Amino acid sequence: MSWQTVLGFEIHVELATNTKMFCGCPASHFSVAPNTQTCPVCLGLPGALPVPNAKAIEWAIKLGLALGCEINLLSKFDRKNYFYPDLSKGYQISQYDLPFCVKGNLLNHQVTRVHLEEDTGKLQHVGDKTLIDFNRSGVPLVEIVTEPDFISADDGVDFLKEVQRIVRALGISSADMEKGSMRLEVNISVRPEGQKELPNYKIEVKNINSFKFVKKAIEFETARQIKLLESGVTPVQETRGFSETKNETVSQRSKENAHDYRYFPEPDIPPLQFTKEQIEIWRSELPELPATTRINLIALGLTPAQANILVDSPIRLAKYQELSNSGDSKSAAIAVVNCSEDKLADLTLQKATVITDPATITPLVQKIIADNPKVVADYKSGKTQAIFSLVGQLKRQKPSLDATAIKQIIESQLI
């Protein structure tokens, strides 16, 4: 029998607000001495009252809008009750039945919901001791949940990368997975090819911190589950972790259901009511989203691969926008694509006037390109350094020309 993987995702993104979700402590907690950014609210001391962060709510809703969601005009926070040492209150303030955003769509996949909650503290295991740092406790966290409508790991990873680009375009988080600003969970199950219904179980793999590992976790789990199913056993519904050293998933605990959390409305925060006008104002403030940027760059004459180099890098994109404001957009885009990221700060566009007469140079460039098919093929396959061989040839013929300008002319001919 042939099998099909069924995948759904939960993505947590830490928002880069100045302050935490329900108190005035600084939200940025990287390279900060442990437990220096805490207060009675984020330590969960008795009697401390939460005050929601308006900026975090605005950003969560803007993210929902960017993901094509409908916005619930009436929304509220709920308590999700569970015990873990990094959760000092014994509950997390999250959203249950009235999240800010529902029913979105991205790359032909359905976004179930986007809600706002608070991050937990951070445990650190040192030898046989476990230390705890509450600087992260209460940092605003957006959770994006998808429908289980993915049937391939690659498709899933493409989706996750697009979410990361959108978050970065909005400027609401670094979405840096190494730092844990973006954390991935994937629900994996397997069904016979051709079956429409969802399998009657699912395995959740938590806290995956790279796109590479999410793919490996899916591949490992799919193979493990197929083996069980073929021996007549339904995999046990559970939460598993991913071991980066062994490249396999490991059982952590049996999966809890929503009712185990005893969700109930947060009594210290009244429900939130938005107006349609407010939502439309936020919609009008959305920046250009990656899908549009990509289309615009390709329309300028960039290849999809070159367009993605720009769209994938916030620093490159910012530099491109800066340069294209004062010069030719296409030259700006190409110069930024070909510049190494650490030298971007110094990159300036040569004025077109440096080139004496493009009409006399273009035929020379075209001849060099025609005479060097191997170099051109190398360049197009991504070995961008290959271009300097062509630059050198033209420089020998026209020594008065500026090498950077030559490089730009050749690049424009190579697209």
Helix H or strand E encompassing 359? helix 358-371
Query: Of 159, 233, 121, nearest to 8 (Cα)?
Result: 159
CB 201 to Mn ion: min, Å: 21
CB 349 to Mn ion: min, Å: 45
Interacting span for Mn ion (CB under 5 A) from 140-148, 191-199, 210-218, 311-319: 140-148
Closer residue to Zn ion in complex, CB, 118/204:
118
3-class SS shares of the chain: helix, strand, coil, % to 5: 40, 25, 40
Cβ atoms 334, 408 nearer than 8 A: yes
142-181 mask for Mn ion (x: CB under 5 A)?
Answer: -x--------------------------------------
Residue 198 binding target from Zn ion, Mn ion, none, CB below 5 to 8 Å by type: none
CB 141 to Mn ion: min, Å: 7
CB 12 to Mn ion: min, Å: 6
Residues that bind Zn ion (CB under 5 A): 23, 25, 39, 41-42
Q: Which residue has the tokens 């600087």?
A: 135
Closer residue to Mn ion in complex, CB, 115/319:
115
Supply angle C-alpha 260, 261, 265, rounded to 5.
135
Rg of the chain over all Cα atoms, to the nearest angstrom: 26
Closer residue to Zn ion in complex, CB, 56/114:
56
Interacting span for Mn ion (CB under 5 A) from 100-108, 138-146, 272-280, 386-394: 138-146
Residue 39 binding target from Zn ion, Mn ion, none, CB below 5 to 8 Å by type: Zn ion
Residue 42 binding target from Mn ion, Zn ion, none, CB below 5 to 8 Å by type: Zn ion
Closer residue to Mn ion in complex, CB, 143/162:
143
Please, how many CA atoms are within 13 Å of residue 113, restricted to the half-sphere of its CB?
A: 13
**What distance, in Å, lies between the first and last C-alpha atoms of the chain?**
46
Residue 143 binding target from Zn ion, Mn ion, none, CB below 5 to 8 Å by type: Mn ion
How many chain residues interact with Mn ion (CB under 5 A)? 1
State both tokens at 95. 């959203």
Q: How far is CA 182 from CA 50, 51, 158, 225, 318, in A?
A: 24, 24, 15, 27, 21
Residues at the contact surface with Mn ion, assessed by CB under 5 A: 143
